[in-house]
Structure 1
Amino acid sequence: MKNKYFPDEEITMNDLYFICYMIERVARHIKQKNKYVVNAIGKDELYHLLSCASTLHCENPEKVEADWIRDYGLVEGSFDITNVDSELATIIPTSLDMGEVYQRLIADTLSTKEDFTEGILRVYNDEICDVIDNYNCSAFYEPSYVIARAYQNGGF
């Protein structure tokens, strides 16, 4: 996928990872699901963010988070992904961990007709995210090929 502002440059897997990390980070901060953040930003702005990711990752993540919340009019919700049963979930993955999970899932299931923006919208709007984001189960810990196969098969 070509960078929107520098057509000679490719958007990299690291750029995708950074955007997935920030989606997770913002969603946790405003207590919304990732799907809400992705849909509120929209395809065109996701392309912009992916194209700027190599610069944005040099910024303070708290600043980037605040900018996204302000720029995209994101509102506070009531979904707390970290509210888990402590007997079932002893470790809650970080935003970085989940950014990697989603980056791999998008990359592993990307068709030749899709770009990263379409992959982001497709994956984050799939029902499998409810399972992956349920930290009371271990779906997010599965190897990336298992998660990709579950996605392609319609569930775990």
Structure 2
Amino acid sequence: MKNNNSLFYTCSLIEYVGRNLRQERSFVVSSLGKDFVTRIYKDADVLHCEPIEKIANEIIEMKSLTNGSFDNIASCRYEVPDYWTIGEVYERLIEDICGDNESIDFITETLWNVYNSWISKAISNYNTDFFYQSRQYIYECWKAGEIIQDAG
């Protein structure tokens, strides 16, 4: 499975909501719930026709999501990657974990696991270069359960 547009949109939307609410992405995913995340994934081909701001605001209202204090944008000392860029990082990692399994349930379960793991904090730390690393390196870190240090 490569270039899954529905997954890309879902991950970018999660990033957008998290930034707007100043919430960790794991909070956003957990607050939405697995069924709702699956619904977003299934409907992504329709949802992307509307501005992402509109969809995010509707979701925030519908799910009564609240503001937090996690502001990785304000604390960033470098150029902030946009929400599409970070959505793509998550999309690629989830694709690599899923491999050829294109089951919606498996994809959304993997999404849930990734966002609720250590790697989500690493991807959200814009003061490191982790999110800019190759998809293969990020995947290898996922498999190792930690950030792999360069042996050279």
- For the pair 1:94 / 2:67, whether they are aligned, the reply is no
* Consecutive unaligned residues in structure 2, runs of 5 or more: 148-152
Q: 1:85–1:16: structure 2 CA closer, same or farther, 3 Å change rule?
A: closer
User: 1:85, 1:16 → 2: CA distance?
Assistant: 26
* Percent identity between the two aligned chains: 35
Higher relative contact order (CA 8 A, sep 6+): 2
Compute the displacement of 1:17 (Å). Answer: 0.3
Aligned to 1:53: 44
State the superposition RMSD in angstroms: 1.7
User: 1:125, 1:133 → 2: CA distance?
Assistant: 12
1:77 to 68, 73, 88: 68
User: 2:68, 2:97 → 1: CA distance?
Assistant: 29
User: 2:34, 2:24 → 1: CA distance?
Assistant: 17
Larger helix share, 1 or 2:
2
Compute the displacement of 1:84 (Å). Answer: 2.9
Aligned to 1:116: 107
Compute the displacement of 1:144 (Å). Answer: 0.4
Q: How many residues align?
A: 143
User: Which digits, 9 at most, give the CA deviation of each residue in 1:47-68, with x for residues without a partner?
Assistant: 1111110000000111101011
Q: 1:153–1:41: structure 2 CA closer, same or farther, 3 Å change rule?
A: same
Q: 1:85–1:30: structure 2 CA closer, same or farther, 3 Å change rule?
A: closer
Q: 1:96–1:85: structure 2 CA closer, same or farther, 3 Å change rule?
A: closer
User: Which digits, 9 at most, give the CA deviation of each residue in 1:95-148, with x for residues without a partner?
Assistant: 000000000011111264862210110100011211121111100000001001
Structure-2-length-normalised TM-score: 0.88
Compute the displacement of 1:92 (Å). Answer: 1.1
Aligned to 2:24: 33
What SS is found at the alignment partner of 1:115? helix
Compute the displacement of 1:83 (Å). Answer: 2.5
State the one-letter code of the partner of 1:119: T
* Consecutive unaligned residues in structure 1, runs of 5 or more: 1-11
Runs of 4+ residues over 2 Å off in structure 1: 83-86, 111-114
